[in-house]
Amino acid sequence: MTNLYDIPAGLVTGIDDSSLAAQIIVAVILAIAFYNSVELVVLIFLTFKKYRGLYFWSLLVSTVLGVIPSVVGPVLHFYSLGPLLLALLISNLGFYAMVPVQSLVLYSRLHLLLRHPRRLRQILSLILLTTAILLPPTTVTTYGSAFVGTPPWNAAYQVIERAQVTGFCLLELLLSALYIREAVQVLWAGDPALLRRRRESGQSDGAGGSGSGAGNVIYQLVAINFVIIALDVGLLVLEYVGLYYLQVALKSLVYSIKLKLEFAVLGRLITLTGRHVHREAEVARFEEPARVPDFVGAEYAAVDFTHPVRTSKPSMSSG
């Protein structure tokens, strides 16, 4: 673990002095994150029917203005390809659009299950409050540590950076836990109105709110959300052991993976339950099972993760 009063390794000098293996590992991580972001942009525009609503825009902003700058900034910074001021500016702007907006992505999918407007407003207020409390001091101390570099600035940056990573990790953990709880209640206990619609359309009750269909989707939702939680915890560990440059590089990759997992979460849940969600142009809607081009990766939006999908393309809108 690094000394709190030292400048974090990689914050000022990049990784030019690191081993060749470390430089290659960071380059590979950033390259995969960039590829994921391009793939996500294609997936978003192929999947959504209407380009509006909180879910659509939070996904798009977190990808285009979040993940991509969070790759470009560290490339300029770590490999000394641009001025430190510019590299940190791009990285910080990417961080603003990637991490807090990822919480809005998690919040927007709660609309599919949570039907308590007051509770949803409280959750949104918590996201905004967490962002307002954590981002300004992190930004100020980042520049203070990088350009002033005195022990008090370094200590302030490392303490606040750890608090920020911990805060957003706990926030996303809370949102994931709420989603799992609501999904279990809807799928396991059953939704009478949902079951009635499925019976009227001639669909089996087993995939609606009870039976093996519901059990399978619960296990998958829990597994996916535990993967998301594990990724957050991994970043938290890297932060506390002082591996600054590796944590920064992995953060863009981790968030690109979490954004791709969003399609798995929503695609599996909405298609299985047969729900058509209309919440004032706030949430996405699946009307048909999915056919996804090979470039996109069918596992992220397919109805069944283990079998190829043969039906028509999903029609997903936020209206």
What pLDDT digit, counting tens, does each position of 135-179 carry? 999 999 999 988 988 889 989 998 999 999 999 999 999 998 888
Q: What average pLDDT does the structure give for the chain?
A: 77
Contact predicate 76/82, CB 8 Å: yes
Nearest to 183 by CA among 114, 253, 237, 244: 114
Buried b (16+ CB within 10 A) or exposed e, 85-95: eebbbbbbebb
Distance CA 212, CA 245 (A): 45
Distance CA 196, CA 202 (A): 10
pLDDT at 212 over 90: no
Q: Which of 98-112, 120-134, 218-232, 259-273 has the highest mean pLDDT?
A: 120-134
pLDDT at 314 over 70: no
Residues above pLDDT 70, as percent of the chain: 72
Region 245-270: mean pLDDT is 83
For residues 185 and 158, which has the higher predicted lDDT (pLDDT)? 158
pLDDT grade, residue 15 (50/70/90)?
A: confident
**Residue 291 confidence (pLDDT):** 38
Contacts of 200 (CB under 8 A, 6+ apart): none
pLDDT grade, residue 111 (50/70/90)?
A: confident
Per mean pLDDT, which range of 17-31, 64-78, 269-283 is the poorest?
Answer: 269-283
Region 281-291: mean pLDDT is 38
What's the maximum distance between 2 C-alpha atoms anywhere in the chain?
Answer: 70
Planar angle of CA 144, 12, 234, nearest 5 degrees: 90
Distance CA 311, CA 67 (A): 31
**Residue 64 confidence (pLDDT):** 94
Contacts of 318 (CB under 8 A, 6+ apart): 48, 50, 52, 53, 54, 55, 56, 281, 282, 283, 284, 285
Per mean pLDDT, which range of 53-62, 70-79, 90-99, 289-298 is the poorest?
Answer: 289-298
Region 251-260: mean pLDDT is 92
**Residue 112 confidence (pLDDT):** 72
